Amino acid sequence: MELLKKLCEAFGPSGCEEEISAVIKEEMRPFADEIYSDSMGNLICHKKGSGKKIMYAAHMDEIGLMVTFIEETGYLRCAQIGYLPPHYSINRFVKFENGTVGVVAYEKEHEANLRQEKVFIDIGAKSKEEAEKKVSVGDCCCVMSHFAIMGDKVASKTLDNRVSCYALIRAAKEMKSDNDIYYVFTTQEEVGLRGAGPAAFKIEPDIAICIDVTMNGDTPECGKNSLKLGGGTAIKVMDHSVITGLEVRNKLISLAKENDISYQMEVITGGGTDAGAIHTVKGGVLTGAVSIPMRYIHSATETADISDIENTVKLIKAFGEATH
């Protein structure tokens, strides 16, 4: 779990992925023949081979906040980067890329109808001039959180989607395949699946597999679906952005059965992943997706089951080794 902790704690809101990209690049260096970043900032790790061209995609960006205005009193107004509901960030510490720390707050009279425009960040500045010595309009910050192991569960900020980056790094380290494999750690997924499409357009894969997290259905009063933590890796059928290719979906199911990998089927009507951007590129890409069920998505305490993570590693590894 030390690698996962390292990934979760790295800075990387959408559009500011340089730090997390550098961390992943160092981990992937021994397992790729070439590593480069494209114009969108996607980190592309290419393991050359003579077989099928397979693109694995896991987004490395996280949700966060961006400074939109600095008050004369030194408080910062901010906008969401991705979907970060105001109540999830209130009274939390946030950190800017330069190390500046702040507290997200609001005036109590707005509690009953809390909206983003009523939220502010306190960085301890007494004036606008003092604040501007630490941050500028356009600077990004992310919520700070503990990384915790809770029995067979792990909880942290940014498990969406650093847990999938972790799974993909693990699979790359263990995979033995003659296929031409591109491990792509994408940017700006949280603000509209923006990085994955251009990467797929350039790579032109025969098959793409997206790895991301998905909504649980096993807590009281939640929106019901069939997914539960500890039930296995989730093979996606549908979300709001994609209906996965039947051929690749059936391949994932058969591999799970053959390798005794616990799995469950994912059918949700909301949300979306990089698969939604990849499958329509050029003439279309045969695309599948594997998801890790998660509780409390887009909060500072996202929670996943360690066995689901391990089963995800096994399945994406098996797919790369079995596809011809």
| Catalytic center residues | 189
The secondary structure element, H or E, covering residue 196 is helix 196-203
How far is it, in rounded angstroms, from Cα 222 to Cα 214?
Answer: 13
Distance, in Å, from the CA atom of 63 to the CA atom of 321, rounded to the nearest integer, reads 33
Residue carrying structure tokens 């399945």: 315
Q: Are 185 and 59 in contact (CB under 8 A)?
A: yes
Overall size of the chain counted in residues: 324
**Residues 24/9, Cβ–Cβ less than 8 Å:** no
Task: Please report the DSSP string for 14-47 in residue order.
Answer: TT--HHHHHHHHHHHGGG-SEEEE-TT--EEEEE
Tokens 């949300």 correspond to what residue?
Answer: 271
E strand or H helix at 267: strand 263-267
How far, in Å, CA of 187 to CA of 164, rounded? 13
Alpha-carbon distance 294 to 297, whole Å?
Answer: 6
Do 102 and 123 meet the contact criterion of CB atoms below 8 Å apart? Answer: yes
- Give the closest residue to 45 by CA, choosing from 204, 202, 199, 181: 181
